[in-house]
Chain A
Amino acid sequence: MQIIESQKIYDVIIVGSGAGGGMATKVLADAGLKVAVMEAGPFFDPANPEQRTQLKWPYESPRRGAGTQRDFGEFDAAYGGWNIEGEPYNNIGDTKFDWFRSRMLGGRTNHWGRISLRFGPNDFKAKDRDGLGDNWPIGYEDVKPYYDKVDKLIGVFGSNEKRYNDPDGFFLPAPKPRLHELYYIKGAKKSNVDVIPSRLSILTKRINNDRGVCFFCGQCNRSCSVYADFSSGSCLIFPAQKNGGQVDLFVNSMVSEVTIDEHGKANGVKYINKEDRQQYTLKSKIVVLAASACSSARILLNSKSEKHPNGLGNSSGLIGKYLHDSTGTDRAIFVPELMNRKRYNEDGVGGLHVYSPWWLDNKKLDFPRGYHIEVWGGLGMPGYGTGFNPNDLNKHLGLTVGGYGNGLREDVKKFYGSVLGMSGRGESIARKENYCEIDPTTVDEFGIPVLRFNYSWSDFERKQAKHMHQTFEEIGHNMGGIVLGDAPGKDKDYGLLNPGRIIHEVGTTRMGSDPKTSVVNEFERLHDVDNVFVVDAGPFVSQADKNPTWTILALAWRTSDFIIEELKKQNL
């Protein structure tokens, strides 16, 4: 099989089209650079009627929305999931790392929760506070101007609350709380847990004439057909093209490695076209990796050469190390007062209208880092699973469970909208012992060596999860609810979900000033190779109790500005 070479030389090849890749595309193409975007999945446009799932009813599908084909239900806009046919990964020992990949233009931004939280000043310097992990080489003041720009370019609703570690921004107005969220606020207030409007990248007001405004169907996970939510394709890549940018999209193109010249500098990528299954090379002056923390680590580790025997940029041996995900555990609450609710359209935006940012001081607790609480519930659209165990809640009311006949219709209607849930999402400590690496025993269907994972939680995370359940129980009782199920005990790691499950995996190409202890510098540039940058969550030194996307976007913009400046100075 011959490798097919392209003669064209791009200024930049961007590998991946999610948040980081989309932002790099927008900024670099707007600056007039010739850009190639490599995406391992197909083209996707949520406005395309053939790909659209928004506003579909469950009965428009034979499986009524069940998650047998797509993990989050078949109307969810992620093409991929925890397991992708032909693209395996492995776990070492008793590791249970779950890796979610989305193969499509825009990647996981098409279905994510749009929770768009800035990291705060403490989050960049956590080691200063508890001595654990490492500080970032940059601080909030370095990133703030970019957070501001991201707020304005992409749009995020929320509220300025003057909370030191949950910084204010340029917010669109927030949607009013739903009824179950008012119950949550009631319970949280009694428990002295702060609650503020959520911060989601959904347009509750117009920000430009290219994107529509939210029409409140509550289906952001299906990717919005009027572009009212942030999805990387519709909000960054299409606008970059529309703006006259020189953007060539290579879809169904799976990058296997970064290629280098005789001096050890990157000069392009090697990729497999999934349609003809041929290998190609593409040339560029600069390579920007944005394939997701683990995928970018995999590409670098697979880019071995005489000059870079351990993989590209891996002289420190740290690529893949310090992998960490947010912690997570959930609990459901039955609120009898919410039985037999009056019906009205309560869809709202896709996701929570209120949340609790971390409200305590870890110095007074037995675990070092915080968590936030997300709330879910309401009169949502029925889907596969609606009506399951129709009257199990009767046991809390002293009534019969089970049976058959038309009483079941009344049971389902009675309990509809009476259960709400809380999800804790917290910060874990990045540790060298948690890592991904190339598994020499396995290749994917494109012949590319795959990753294997080694990951365990520590007592820091277990104690935090235990605290989450105590909080859920207290808030649940204080809102007049019945907490469902028992608190998971020590044998179940207090309910901690498997690492990877929160889909905030970060840290595999971590940032630092010392090339011995980090992979990229403060501008996300490989210490070893000055024309390769990583703009996904790989460079995160620590994943705060915030969702990573807003920080990925801000850093990708900052790095792109740096690339433009370096090019102007002819340093690249």
Chain B
Amino acid sequence: MDRRESLKSMILGSMAVGLTLESCVTETAPEVIEDKIWKYTYGRTPKEAAFDEDLLLDQFFEDQELQIIKTLANLILPPNEQGTIEQAGVVEFIEFMAKDVPEFQVKIRGGLMWMNGYCNTHYQATFVNCTEVQQKELLDKMAFPDMEAEEQVQEVQFFSLMRNLVLTGYFTSEVGIKELDYKGNMPNVWDGVPQDVLEAHGMSYDAEWLAKCLDPDTIGDMAQWDNEGNLIS
């Protein structure tokens, strides 16, 4: 059974004991629930699950807005062999966050309109219909904060928000985590910083300190102490 299958069976298994996400909204077609909701399997309280289900079944951005977000996201982080905006689910993530953090709504919707307004004025086309050269010309006006200013102008703030959401959406995705090369989130035994890393940083472990540290070979043994609190196993 692959991971996705086993997760699904775990959820199906949970139906037997009567707690299921399906109970929250009954009118939804099963394939929609499968697609939009059942892929999320982390522990939720029933109230949280119902809230998330509402958000997942709702749509905030119009299709044309999602199109601009997609175009913009692909300019902020162009596809390469490591991963793409689409693989990372960045547009869906931004759509969700706009519902989860209502303060984002006007900022993003307004920012997208502002970009279209700019493009209409300067290029007689909406943002998605501009050439990449024109799109980048606009981005150059938005992407660099004025380091001397106390407060950034709207378009810089908007772009900064979008850049943050695009990057965090990407680097919390499966492809993004792989690209970042995060190695954890799995059972292992911590036995200190690898020797070559220590050397590269001019560091070493102090022998006296090491004597207080765990030995991976005896981690499964039952702990025993003498009366003074010295570990003797």
Q: Which A residues are in CB contact (< 8 Å) with B82?
A: 409
Q: How far is the CB of A390 from chain B (nearest CB, A)?
A: 5
B interface residues, how many (CB within 8 angstroms): 86
Cα-based distance from A68 to B188 in the complex (angstroms): 31
- Measured between alpha carbons, how far is A152 from B229 in the docked complex, in Å? 10
Contact yes or no, B231 A382, CB < 8 A: no
Taking the closest CB of chain B, its distance from the CB of A69, in whole angstroms, is 6
CA distance A69 to B19 in the complex (A): 20
B172 close to A58 (CB less than 8 A): yes
B191 to A402, Cβ gap below 8 A? no
- Residues of A near B26 (CB, < 8 A) are none
Bitwise interface map of A from 363 to 394 toward B, beta carbon under 8 Å scored 1, else 0: 00000000000000001111111111110000
B163 touches A390 (CB 8 A): yes
Check if A217 is an interface residue, CB within 8 A of chain B.
yes
Chain A, residue nearest B192 (CB): A176
Chain B's closest residue to A48 (CB) is B43
CB distance from B214 to the nearest CB of A (A): 4
A261 within 8 A of B: no
Across the interface, which residues of A come within 8 angstroms of B167, CB to CB? 386-388, 390, 408, 412
A93 within 8 A of B: no
Q: Are A412 and B78 in contact (CB under 8 A)?
A: no
Residues of B within 8 A of A52 (CB): 42-43
Partner of B180, one of A51, A61, A416: A416
A387 and B171 form a contact (CB under 8 A): yes
Given A206-B221, A408-B163: A63 and B41 interface contact (C-beta under 8 Å): no
Residue of A50, A58, A168, A401 touching B145 (CB-CB under 8 A)? A401
Q: Is the CB of A65 within 8 A of B172?
A: yes
Q: Is residue A568 within 8 Å, beta carbon to beta carbon, of the partner chain? A: no
B49-82: which residues lie under 8 A (CB-CB) from chain A? 51-52, 55-56, 75-78, 80, 82
Q: Which of A408-462 contact B (CB under 8 A)?
A: 408-409, 412-413, 416
B-side contacts of A413, CB under 8 Å: 179-181
A148 / chain B contacts, CB cutoff of 8 Å: 229
Counting chain B CB atoms within 10 Å of each CB, which of A66, A400, A401 scores highest? A66
Contact code string A36-78 (vs B, CB < 8 Å = 1, else 0): 0000001000001111110111111111111011000011000
Closest chain A CB from B22 CB (angstroms): 14
Does A535 sit at the interface, judged by CB under 8 A? Answer: no
Contact of A174 among B14, B201, B212 (CB under 8 A): B212
* In the complex with contacts A346-B184, A386-B172, A197-B163 CB distance below 8 A: no
Residues from chain B with a CB closer than 8 A to the CB of A79 are 45
Chain B 151-176, CB-CB to A under 8 Å as 1, else 0, gives 00000000010011001111111101
A280 contacts across to B, CB distance below 8 A: none
B42 touches A75 (CB 8 A): yes
- Per the bound structure, the CA–CA distance linking A152 and B225 in Å amounts to 9
Q: Please name the residue on chain A nearest to B97 by beta carbon.
A: A63
Q: List 29 A-B contacts (CB under 8 A).
A: A50-B14, A53-B42, A56-B41, A56-B42, A59-B173, A59-B174, A64-B172, A65-B172, A79-B45, A160-B229, A172-B214, A197-B209, A204-B214, A205-B219, A205-B222, A205-B231, A216-B187, A216-B189, A216-B190, A217-B187, A343-B181, A384-B168, A385-B168, A386-B172, A389-B164, A402-B143, A405-B78, A409-B77, A409-B82
**A interface list, Cβ under 8 A from B:** 42, 48-53, 55-66, 68-69, 74-75, 79, 148, 152, 155, 157, 159-160, 168-179, 182-183, 186, 197, 204-208, 213-218, 337, 341-349, 379-390, 395, 400-406, 408-409, 412-413, 416
**Chain B residues close to A by CB (< 8 Å):** 10, 13-14, 19, 39-43, 45, 48, 51-52, 55-56, 75-78, 80, 82, 89, 92-93, 96-97, 100-101, 139, 143-145, 147, 160, 163-164, 167-174, 176-177, 179-194, 196-198, 200-201, 203, 205, 209-210, 212-215, 218-223, 225, 229-231, 233
